Amino acid sequence: MAVGETQVESGAEPATKETETGWRNTLRKIKQDTTARWGLYVITIVLAITAYTLIDGNLSRLTFGAVSDFTMAETLPIFEHPERLPPPGEAETNLPPAFHADGTMSHPLGTDPNGRDYFTRIVYGAQVSVSVGIAATFLGLLGGTIIGAVAGYYGGWVDDVLMRAIETVYAIPPLILIIVFTVFVSGGSPDVMYAIVGVGIAFIPVFARIIRSEVLSVREMDYIEAARAAGVKDRDIILRHVIPNSFAPVLVYATLQIGVTILIVAGISFLGFGAQPPTPDWGEMLNTSHGYMHSNVWLSIWPGLAIMITIMGFNLFGDGLQDALDPRINE
Amino acid sequence: MGLLRYTTYRFAQAIPVLIGISILTFVLANLTPGDPVRLMLQGVEADQEMIEQIEAQYGLDRPLYERYLDYMAGLVQGDMGHSFHRNRSVSELIASRIGPTLLLVLSAYAFALATSIPLGIIAAKRRNEPFDHVSRIVALIGVSTPSFWIGIMLILIFAVQLGWLPSAGLVYPWWSPETYGHDGYVEHFVETIRHLLLPMIALGTLQMATLMRVERTQMIESLQGEYVKLARAYGVPERTILRKHAFQVAQLPIITIVGLNLSTALGGAVLTEFVFNINGLGRLFYDAIVQLDYQVIMGITMIIATMFVIGVIITDIAYAYIDPRVTYGEAE
């Protein structure tokens, strides 16, 4: 059935031939493209921050349920602890940001209702928000590539069955599917890790479709015929020839999809079904600040800005990449 | 194939997908660690006897496939099960909540279409001029900003700071003005709009931005088409070219995107209803998830997926109806 067939057509058009002209050419085009360059700057900064929070050792939330001990390393002096509450009596709660008359320079973005430094929490929020977005996209890409390649390569009833299954998953709006998956599979206590898997499953359809339509043309190539005649096993043909030759358009799509994923994960955490307090996560912080909308406006502004800037980076880069790979524009 | 046959064919094609959705939601809800009863009873002191009693009441002591067939038999007759927490039938609950969600989603679409198409056309016409640059930046911000955050910001500005518009709830136009103490239909209408404005913009911005980008690209491509060149050569006024020749062709992809984006819009409705405290399906879904009211969750998932599937079919048919080049369903 054709739920969303057209989307795949338009998404899959560019770049089968581009792989042959080489990645170097693409890179050169990205460098020339202002949009892509700016996107790349933003992504680099965001990823650097994410990487810092991951190796810093103060907080590693990307483990199933377990919270790490905060003994490994000292944080940079500009940061306070992202989760630990200040001792009672000493906490300065709901401070406005530094540029405000009541703010102080020691808390540039103010403090949250528990007295924690908000700047630290925004920075450490990147860890969960960004890496979950990337991990979930990768999972969807992996699942989608395998299913799409198998369906496209074998055709016939295998294709029919897999595609019907894909359509089923596609018909449930991702946000709904992910929440239902997360809540049921976690047995009623949702967490980020379940959300990653949920997002991965929800995004399998889009990737599977792009790969499948690429594979349909690749499988008719002479080298596939040759491999088959030489007695190469189907599995090896798919892994060594079919997938590598169908991959370029999906990669572009994946970059754009990371932005969408971060957006959706933020929404899930905002509703309270993703990252759980005290984990610093932009969506979760917006959930907490929702109750303080009238008393402390700043709490709702910073996490949203962080999400917006990050996603904008991925969108800019993805757009630039698409332009660079689209043969119609680069005549 | 005629249009009528194509319509029937597309709806028939949707049946396996709908069955698939029912299986998927059923399996998800029933293969959880700890069965539904234990989920529902979280936080409640319950002994084994009570659990067994509830299991028997809901038929949960029978094999999975039997329960699924039962569930399906119910679905066909419009019975979606029973809400454990609200002690009402799920169909009734959904029927009472679907109105606000439809109002919200449709008005968000109206907002998105009414803004994106003119802006996209002007941007295409003035390609690489300041207007184009500004509208592209606006579109980029639109696709990069979470709808719920836009909602929060709108509330902060227009409800909290300026006090111009209400920050929560909707006024339902299908209820009588007296219910709200409104003075006649004019006030009723004005209040409906005032309540709808912020959630509509919050939910519609992403749609607007997506459609604006597509409209711009399509119009640019369409304005470079051979037929436009020909029309220009014949001396057809630029206005007429824009309106008639370039415009119509450029709208086809918009139709498809409108259908597909229903998926994001319906998901976004959950967030928007949460932010603006609107008692629609999304809010019901949220509450059901928090209460682990699993038959309600399954029912809403089914309904929302069905709405999406039907939406896509309608846009497909509209596309086929408008585009003379489409040979109904014989492509590929």
Residue spans per domain, chain A? 33-56+109-325
Three-state SS at B147: helix
**Minimal-distance CA residue of chain A relative to B155:** A293
Distance from CA of B177 to the nearest CA of A (A): 30
Say if B141 is an interface residue toward chain A (CB within 8 Å): yes
Q: How far apart are CA B81 and CA B92, in angstroms?
A: 10
Say if B16 is an interface residue toward chain A (CB within 8 Å): yes
Say if B25 is an interface residue toward chain A (CB within 8 Å): yes
Distance from CA of B6 to the nearest CA of A (A): 12
Name the β-bridge partners of A111: A117
* Residue A277 backbone dihedrals phi, psi, to 5 degrees: -60, 145
Closest to A225 measured CA to CA, from A161, A291, A153, A171: A153
Q: Looking at beta carbons, which residues of chain B come within 8 Å of A183?
A: 289, 292, 297
**Minimal-distance CA residue of chain B relative to A39:** B140
Say if A297 is an interface residue toward chain B (CB within 8 Å): yes
Residue A297 tokens read as: 């406006």
A33-56+109-325 architecture in CATH? Orthogonal Bundle (1.10)
pLDDT computed for residue B114 by the predictor: 93
Q: How far apart are CA A74 and CA A21, in angstroms?
A: 48
Q: How far apart are CA A283 and CA B95, in angstroms?
A: 31
Closest to A271 measured CA to CA, from A164, A134, A173, A179: A179
What confidence tens digit (pLDDT) does each residue in A116-156 have? 777 878 888 888 888 888 889 999 999 998 998 888 888 88
Q: How far apart are CA A314 and CA B106, in angstroms?
A: 29
Interchain proximity B270–A168, CB inside 8 Å = no
Distance from CA of B90 to the nearest CA of A (A): 17
Q: Looking at beta carbons, which residues of chain A come within 8 Å of B32?
A: 184-185, 187
Interchain proximity B141–A165, CB inside 8 Å = no
Q: Looking at beta carbons, which residues of chain B come within 8 Å of A4?
A: 260, 312
Considering the entire predicted model, what is its pTM? 0.84
Ordered per-residue pLDDT tens for chain B, 332 residues:
577 888 888 888 888 888 989 888 888 887 665 566 666 666 666 677 777 777 777 667 777 788 888 888 888 888 888 787 787 888 888 988 999 999 999 999 999 999 998 898 888 888 888 888 898 889 999 999 999 999 999 998 998 888 888 888 888 888 877 777 778 888 888 888 888 999 999 999 999 999 998 888 888 888 887 777 888 888 888 778 777 777 777 788 888 888 888 888 898 999 999 999 999 999 999 998 888 888 888 899 999 999 999 988 888 888 877 776 655 554 43
What confidence tens digit (pLDDT) does each residue in A49-72 have? 888 777 765 555 554 344 444 433
Name the β-bridge partners of B89: B82
Q: Note if the bond before A108 is cis, omega within 30 degrees.
A: no
Interchain proximity A273–B143, CB inside 8 Å = no
Residue B227 tokens read as: 């037929």
Residue spans per domain, chain B? 3-90, 94-322
Homologous superfamily of B94-322: MetI-like (1.10.3720.10)
Q: Looking at beta carbons, which residues of chain A come within 8 Å of B148?
A: 267, 270, 286
Interchain proximity B253–A10, CB inside 8 Å = yes
Nearest CB to B146: which of A267, A272, A316?
Answer: A267
Say if B20 is an interface residue toward chain A (CB within 8 Å): yes
Q: Residue A313 half-sphere exposure, CB side, CA atoms within 13 Å?
A: 16
Closest to B199 measured CA to CA, from B103, B303, B308: B103
Distance from CA of B186 to the nearest CA of A (A): 32
Q: How far apart are CA A258 and CA A26, in angstroms?
A: 20
Tally Cβ neighbours within 10 Å of residue A76. 11
Interchain proximity B10–A2, CB inside 8 Å = yes
Q: Write the CA distances from A65 to A60, A230, A257, B240, integer angstroms.
A: 11, 50, 27, 63
